[in-house]
Structures are given as C-alpha cells and as structure tokens.
Structure 1
Amino acid sequence: MKKTFFLLIMLAGVFTAQAQVSDNATVNVKLYPIQTIVVNPDNKVVNLDYKTTTDYQDGVNVDKKDHLKIYSTGGFEVNVSAAGDLTSSDATKNISAADIKITASAGTVNPLTSTTSNTYKSINLSNTNQLLVDNATGGVNKTVSVNYAAAGADAYVDKFINGENPTVYTTTVTYTISPK
C-alpha cells in the first residue's frame, strides 16, 4: 500500500510538473504606410478646347469626375505640379502653366468623408508642387474630382499657329501623394 501511495504521489508530481511548464510568444501587428494615387485611365488626357469666340472670351473648363483614386493607410496630402509651361510645335510660343487653374472636389463614387479634417484646394499650376488635397485620415479607393480651367479675355487669340488645326499646347501634370 505504501508503494502504491508513493507511486501515485510520484506520478502526480510528474504530471503537475509538466502542467506548469509554459512559454510565451510575442505577436506584432506591423502597419506600414501605404499611399497610392491613380489618375482615372479614362481621363488621362484633358482637352481644353477653344472652338467659339465665346470660348476665347470666357475661357473654358472641363470637369473630370472621379479623376483621382486614392488609397492611404493614414492622413495624406496630394500635391500637383506641371512639367513646365505648355508648349507647341513652335518653340517661340507657349502658354504659361499658371494660366491653368485646377480645382479639387469630392468624387462622386466613394468620396472622402466630408469633415473638417479634409480640404480641397484650387490652385494655378506651376512647376513646383502645390497642395491640392489635405486629409487627416486614411481611406480605401477614395475619389477626387478635378476641374481644369484655362484663361478667357481672348488671352490665346494670337497663339494659333497657321497650318495646324488645331494648334495644341501641352504639358504633363503630376499628382503626388505623401503621408501626413
């Protein structure tokens, strides 16, 4: 009986010792900043067409709905810049990038949540980055609409180049997203 009792105590000690063995693991969730911006493929070319005398007098503008699609893991800023002035086939003539006014607004599909934490700007293009959208929170595939406008007051009457129909002045506009 003593042997059986002793054997039971020994077995209980072995099982108890094993039950008290433990170890830890650390679980980390690592969140890295991700910002992407995509110009709507259907709107990669923006044409500001002057076809009537009223266009030359009043200027023209084009709305590009949902022009930009943004993914950001936190607050962000969207800046815009032009590669330079708008140039044509005649190197002696150009249109100042500053003549082009760009205005951001909420997109129509999945817009940024309307709060005091986001700001849409209106700027005249330049070859340096300018703040166009400022948002304090992140978002998934949020859209921003953009209006492009060019000068009136007959500013471009003397910019037509004979033999071209139409005369085209062009520059590249770059949108850049960065975390805030």
Structure 2
Amino acid sequence: MKKFLMISLTMSLLCIGVAKAQVTGTTNVHVKLVDVLALSVNNSDVNINFNNAADYQNGVSVPMAGHLTVTSNQPYTLNIKAAGNLAGTGANTDVLDPSILTIALPTTGNNTALGATPTTVGGLATTNAALITNASPGLLKLVDVNYSVPSSISTTSAILGKKADTYTTTVTYTITQ
C-alpha cells in the first residue's frame, strides 16, 4: 500500500508538472497602408436656367446634394476650374465668361463632416481654385455643391444682351493629398 501511495503521488506530481509545461511560438503581423484617393462626380450635368425676369433680377442658384463622392485616407484639398468660356450652340458666337459662375460648398447637409471650412469660388476661372483645404480623411464622403449665377452678375452685360441659347463649359474637380 505504501508503494502504491508512492507511485500515485509520483504520478500526480508528474501530471501536475506536465500540466504546467508550456510551449510558445511568435509571429510578426504587418499592416501595410497605401494612400487611396478617389473622386467621382455623381451628376454629369448641372443646369442653371434663366426662365423669367425674376431669375435675371435675383440670380439663379442650383443646389446639388451629394454631387461629389470623395475617398481619401489623408487630409485633402479639393480644387475646381473651368475648361474655358461657356460656348453657345450652332452658329451662336456669343460666349459667357466662366467668371459668371459661383461655386460653393455649403456648410450644412453632407458637408458638416468635412473637417475644414469650405470656401466659395466666386468667379470661376481656368486655373484651379481651392473649394476646401485640409479636409478630413474619409471613405465615400458625399459632398454637396451649389452652383449659381448671382444677381450681381445676372443683371449685367455678362448675361444681358446674350442670345437665348444653352451655354456650356466643362468644370473639372481635382483632389490632392
């Protein structure tokens, strides 16, 4: 019996010793980040229509909710420019200077989470102008844009005296990190 107790005790101690034994291994985990930058314009056409005398007197503003979608993992700048004059169609040789256009990012709606104060580009040009600088990073951020011809322009020869027609230019948005 004594021998049995000794063997049992020895076995118990061995089992306890084995239970406490440990083997470990390690690994390195690598998280690789790359810069992502994407921009899409969600409406290919913006129509600023002067349909009556009140439009010429008061100007016309066209709000475009969710007009742009921006993705950037870094702070970014959003610029805008026009390709050139707004040209009429067919034999119409009249043109409208792009400076008649005011482009603004409102501080409401989708733009409340931009992380920086947007500016208004009054008098669009053929060179880049910043709409927002140092905006917060984000994924698939919708951006609201307002296009307008203000009354300070619509009541002048910049608009008055031009032939009835649809005048068109291409507007380009560019984002950079």
Percent pairwise identity: 32
Query: What residue in structure 2 maps to residue 76 of structure 1?
Result: 76
CA gap of 1:107–1:177, structure 2 versus 1, over 3 A, is: farther
Structure 1 residue matching 2:79: 3-state secondary structure: strand
CA gap of 1:113–1:152, structure 2 versus 1, over 3 A, is: same
Distance 1:129 1:93 in 2: 25
Distance 1:97 1:82 in 2: 7
Query: What residue in structure 2 maps to residue 147 of structure 1?
Result: 146
**TM-score, L = length of structure 1:** 0.73
Shift of 1:100: 0.4
CA gap of 1:30–1:107, structure 2 versus 1, over 3 A, is: farther
Structure 1 residue matching 2:106: 3-state secondary structure: strand
| Matching residue's letter, 1:133 | I
- The answer as to 2:65 corresponding to 1:65 is yes
Distance 2:128 2:53 in 1: 33
Query: What residue in structure 2 maps to residue 128 of structure 1?
Result: 127
Whether the 8 Å contact between 1:74 and 1:138 is mirrored in structure 2 is yes
| Matching residue's letter, 1:102 | I
Whether the 8 Å contact between 2:154 and 2:160 is mirrored in structure 1 is no
Query: What residue in structure 2 maps to residue 105 of structure 1?
Result: 106
What stretches of structure 1 of length at least 5 have no aligned partner? 1-18, 162-166
Shift of 1:139: 0.5
CA gap of 1:37–1:132, structure 2 versus 1, over 3 A, is: same
Query: What residue in structure 2 maps to residue 158 of structure 1?
Result: 161
Distance 2:106 2:141 in 1: 12
Q: CA-to-partner distance for each residue in 1:86-133, whole Å, 9 max, x for gaps?
A: 011246310000110000124635x4526xx41211002111111012
Q: CA-to-partner distance for each residue in 1:114-160, whole Å, 9 max, x for gaps?
A: 6xx41211002111111012234310111211111113215423111
Distance 1:136 1:149 in 2: 23
What stretches of structure 2 of length at least 5 have no aligned partner? 1-21
Distance 2:135 2:162 in 1: 42
Total equivalences in the alignment = 150
Q: Which has the larger radius of gyration?
A: 2
Whether the 8 Å contact between 1:85 and 1:96 is mirrored in structure 2 is yes
